[in-house]
Amino acid sequence: MNVYKCAVLLLLPFILTGCWSKYELQNMNYATAVGVDYVDGQYTIYAQLLDFSTVAKLEGQQKAEQPPVWIGRGKGISFTEAANDLYTTAQQRLNWGQISAILFSERLLKERKVGEVLELINRYREIRYLAWVFSTRDPLDDILISTPFFRLSPKASILHNPEQNYRQRSILAPIRLQKFVMDSNEKAKISYIPELSIRKDQWKENQKPHELLRFSGIQIYDKDKYYARMSLEDIIGLPWLNKHTIRVPVNLFSDKKLIADLVAEKPEYDVKPSIKYGKAYFDISINVKAGVNELHADVTEQELTQMAQKEIERQIRQTFQTAVEKEIDIYNLGESLFRKNPYEWKRIASGTVLNKDSLRTINVNLQIVYPGRYKLSP
């Protein structure tokens, strides 16, 4: 009997399954961002690889050299074939689980190929929905190769970490892939993708120009329909009707002369839809608190408040009119009608929900809570 037990114990190592599917961390390359283009009927994929040992910065240690950034390119008639083309020269297994940014070219959007790319992402479990999504009109590899200040890793740029920049100047809210997919599949909403570009003339390192990423506008894309591009000047009113807005500068002029610089924080808004003579109309109310950064004229607090309220209303209406001309519901006003009265929305949405007169009243209530070191006249 003991002989049989010993025989079983000796056979156990041969019948137990091993971890054949496991890979050592050092034997893999990690893609941190991916760019997708569509040229002449073919997909082009750009993969950004980083050495993660250079991402963490030790306290008190200055990097002597810029951490290396590797950019790979693959082509194919499908997204999968382009990825397989990339594998032909990948010296080790390529892991897509660390991707934190996805970049679409404007050409891909206009060719309405985003849906095919998202189809693969939906099926491929390594790529996460928490990745940031961007568009660009610049060459994709130029965006992916761009590096931030102090020889830091690209992980510190707005491509991978846009929230810090947005907290200081909330002009254009970054969008995660999850929200983009949700909004683009919502009947009553318009989805947009923030646009990145490279600015070459603003910063220098030791008197040498250093190219840096910046937000330059948005691309409006809904399901498989491409609408248009809007610049930052076109969307100047967008922050006032965005619940994620944190901090917005307000410059006040009179006869082209600067009167004051204000900073508004966390505006709260409410949209009330109504139907009249078969058309949709919307009334907006906004409550916002602001502080005075600079004051260049002798004005009272009441005058300053009135000027700021008129300026905010002007920005909102300007963006609305620009968007309506492109048949874009930039503020998603139609969604408020859909939530309140879906029957009326469905009837009107067979054509265009908005017209140039749909935005009826805008009531801005601004309160100056921080006048700076000097008190304002009442």
Identify the pLDDT of residue 60.
43
* Tens-digit pLDDT profile for residues 35-54: 999 988 889 999 888 776 55
Residue 56: per-residue pLDDT = 55
pLDDT at 22 over 60: no
* pLDDT at position 145: 83
Instruction: Check pLDDT > 80 for residue 15.
Output: no
Decide the pairing of beta strands 192-199 and 359-370: unpaired
User: The whole model's pTM is what?
Assistant: 0.83
Question: Alpha helix locations (H) across 135-206?
Answer: 140-145, 163-168, 177-184
372: pLDDT confidence band, cut at 50, 70 and 90?
low
Question: What pLDDT score does 58 carry?
Answer: 43
pLDDT at 340 over 90: no
Mind spelling out the 3-state secondary structure of 309-359?
HHHHHHHHHHHHHHHHHCCCCCCCHHHHHHHHCHHHHHHHCCCCCCCCCCE
Angle between helices 79-87 and 114-123 (to 10 degrees): 60
Q: Looking at per-residue confidence, does 231 or 212 come out higher?
A: 231
- Condensed to tens digits (0 to 9), the pLDDT of residues 58-90 reads 444 555 566 777 888 889 888 888 888 888 887
Per-residue pLDDT of 319-333, as tens digits, reads 999 999 988 889 998
Sketch out the chain's domains with CATH numbers.
Answer: 26-234 (no CATH), 236-377 (3.30.300.210)
Q: Give me the chain's average pLDDT, please.
A: 82
| pLDDT for residue 36 | 92
